[in-house]
Chains A and B, each alone.
Chain A
Amino acid sequence: MIETRGLVKAFGSRLVLRGITLHISAGEFVTLVGPNGAGKTTLMRILATLSRPSAGQVLVGGCDLTRDPMRARHMIGLVSHRTLLYDDLSGEQNLLFYAQLYDVARPKMRVEELLRQMGLWGRQRDPVSTYSRGMQQRLAIARALLHNPPILLLDEPDTGLDHHAAMTLGALLRQTDLGQRTVLMTTHNLEYAAAWGERAVILVNGRIVFQVNRSETDLATLRAQYDHYASSA
């Protein structure tokens, strides 16, 4: 579902991604961990069609992103650490607006369904600026799921959330038919990498240094590997 071959991204003379080759099959849930500056967000932005690769190939849902990013956009839902929402509008207004942009059928019904699922019904008419950080993230997830995308990209969704809110988020995510979607999640937090998903990938300095199936490892091993690679960078 998601495939990159030798993906390179440079900003001017600064190389951020130095040749990423990654393969994620349909329905897989992969977590990506790495220290600050490893290139996690850059990678996510390229996969979400927000940024163009400098070199290499990127295929998302079978679409070559350098040639036909528009088709891929229908298939991708992104939850970033920034909400990408309109603070001055209400939760409902935000979702209705995006429902129009994504050509969602029966928008009002879908929006209500998602707001209830995310536990935001009751505050749906309040401006997003009055939501707590946890609520904003939940709304962001609702926005990502509006068009029922087969691919979900989560870029450090737990940023700024306390442990309880993060757990709520995790529970909510699991409720949303994750099994049928292809999910790539980046995080700082090794616990999530060890507890969620089927595969963990470690990204350091723009390169994939380690990959392992979750069934074949545990938190301690993962941490050891992470510390090893992160410190030698």
Chain B
Amino acid sequence: MKHPMDLMMGLLIVTGLLMVSAIVLALGIAPDAVNLATPTERFAQRIFYFHVPNWWVGFLAYLVAAVAGALYLISRQERWDAIGVSSIEVGLTFNTIGLVSGSIWAKPTWNTWWTWEPRLTTAAIGWLMYVGYLMLRSAIENPQRRARFAAVFSILAFLDVPIIFLAIRWWRTIHPVVIGSEGGQGVGGFALGPTIQLVFFFCLGAFTLLYVTLMLVRLRTEFLSQRVERLRQHLMFR
């Protein structure tokens, strides 16, 4: 039976390798996108390989947290609370990186650092929601209450995300609707050739693995701290 630390190391190494490959593929090997005018734009487009997986992982993280919240409320097992907080912390990190990377891409492409378009605005609101989640947690001392409130909030927040997105989308749009459209609309859109698709999905996979790895690392810390609490209770029972 392999020692858990060995497995963890193994996972870290694999993730590291995949991420490096992803970077190489995205920045170097993937072909230039067609209908983009300037070289700056063409290079900036490559951020798409990181940006979109980033969003995907952020979304996944929040989904996992909501499900973990529901499972906590049902079972009252503290491990679900650990999964919830770990997922949201990791998700928030990706969310932040996504907002920043999106902004970096926006400058050369749309000539603005920020714009109030649906995906971006929803992401910003999501960011605020989950920062609120962390603030809620830090304001409660009782661990059971903290877990309960956190669970309720993460479920409600997640269910609200599609509604928020819909509302903002009805309001405005200039973000390139790349997936599920006929060859790329909006300013800065581009067509998805087969190689581009391959690289994209590779990066998606690499990012998802990165999420899992970071989650496990964070979970380990959380489980350890839960174990310390249990031991403390045990000692006090004398």
Give chain A's interface residues, CB within 8 Å of chain B.
Answer: 10-15, 18
Contact = CB atoms under 8 A, between A and B. Distances in A.
A12 B141 CA distance: 8
Given A11-B142, A12-B142, A12-B143, A18 B237 contact: yes
Contacts of A18: 237
Interface in B195-238: 229, 232-233, 236-237
Contacts of A11: 142
Nearest to A52: B144
A13 B232 CA distance: 6
A11 to B, nearest CB: 6
Interface residues of B, number: 9
16 contacts: A10-B233, A11-B142, A12-B141, A12-B142, A12-B143, A12-B144, A12-B229, A13-B229, A13-B232, A13-B233, A13-B236, A14-B236, A15-B233, A15-B236, A15-B237, A18-B237
Interface of B: 141-144, 229, 232-233, 236-237
A14 B141 CA distance: 12
Contacts of A14: 236
A12 B237 CA distance: 13
Contacts of B144: 12
Nearest to B236: A15
Contacts of B233: 10, 13, 15
Q: Is the interface of A mostly helix, strand, loop or mixed?
A: strand
Interface centre among B141, B229, B233 (most CB of A within 10 A): B233
A201 B195 CA distance: 80
Interface centre among A11, A13, A14 (most CB of B within 10 A): A13
Nearest to A54: B144
Nearest to A15: B236
Nearest to A14: B236
Given A11-B142, A12-B141, 9 more contacts: A12-B142, A12-B144, A12-B229, A13-B229, A13-B236, A14-B236, A15-B233, A15-B237, A18-B237
Nearest to B232: A13
B92 to A, nearest CB: 25
Contacts of B232: 13
A147 B232 CA distance: 43
A42 B210 CA distance: 46
B145 to A, nearest CB: 9
Nearest to A13: B232
Contacts of A10: 233
Contacts of A15: 233, 236-237
Contacts of B143: 12
B59 to A, nearest CB: 33
A12 B233 CA distance: 8
A18 B238 CA distance: 9
Nearest to A10: B233
B85 to A, nearest CB: 16
Contacts of B236: 13-15
Contacts of A13: 229, 232-233, 236
A14 B70 CA distance: 26
Contacts of B229: 12-13
What 7 A-B pairs come out closest when comparing CB atoms?
A: A13-B232, A15-B236, A13-B233, A13-B229, A12-B143, A12-B142, A11-B142
A107 B236 CA distance: 48
B76 to A, nearest CB: 10
A37 to B, nearest CB: 13
A10 B236 CA distance: 10
A15 B234 CA distance: 9
A15 B236 CA distance: 7
A10 B229 CA distance: 12
A157 B219 CA distance: 47
A29 to B, nearest CB: 32
A10 B144 CA distance: 10
Nearest to B146: A12
B132 to A, nearest CB: 23
A229 B47 CA distance: 71
Nearest to A12: B143
Interface centre among A14, A15, A18 (most CB of B within 10 A): A15
A11 B237 CA distance: 13
A61 to B, nearest CB: 26
A11 B233 CA distance: 10
A69 B112 CA distance: 59
